Amino acid sequence: MSNRESMPMGDEEVLVEDELKEPSMYKVFLLNDDYTTMNFVVSILMDIFHKSMDEAVRIMQEVHKNGMGLCGVYTAEVAETKVDMIRARARQAGFPLRCTMEEA
């Protein structure tokens, strides 16, 4: 995005440019393990990532087969919130389910 034609670059203008930039986006991944049930992972994908049953099963199977799978791409704040929610639900249910986020 270019919003700085003929603008001087004092502190205020730098701030304006930053505010107009697209936010960085983050991929959220689920990681496989041998103990978390498939049903629990599907419910995480439906509840936290708003996937349909078919899509949730597809992503769960991909994680199970390949070790990790992409759940979605979000702004930093949304991605962090989803990661926190997954960890809280896994801890509460007693599953060692892990997840991670990385800049897209």
Least separation in angstroms between CB 86 and ligand TYC: 9
Nearest C-alpha neighbor of 56 from the set 35, 30, 33, 78: 30
How many angstroms separate the Cα of 64 from the Cα of each of 3, 40, 59, 92, 97? 45, 13, 9, 22, 12
Distance of CA 67 to the CA centre of its chain: 16
Per the CB < 8 A criterion, the answer to whether 66 and 55 are in contact is no
Least separation in angstroms between CB 104 and ligand TYC: 20
Least separation in angstroms between CB 8 and ligand TYC: 51
CA gap 48, 21 in Å, rounded: 27
* Site residues, ligand TYC (CB under 6 A): 30-34, 36-38, 41, 60, 63-64, 97
- Return the number of the residue (42 or 74) whose C-beta is nearest ligand TYC: 42
Least separation in angstroms between CB 57 and ligand TYC: 10
- Return the number of the residue (32 or 43) whose C-beta is nearest ligand TYC: 32
- Return the number of the residue (17 or 32) whose C-beta is nearest ligand TYC: 32
- Return the number of the residue (62 or 80) whose C-beta is nearest ligand TYC: 62
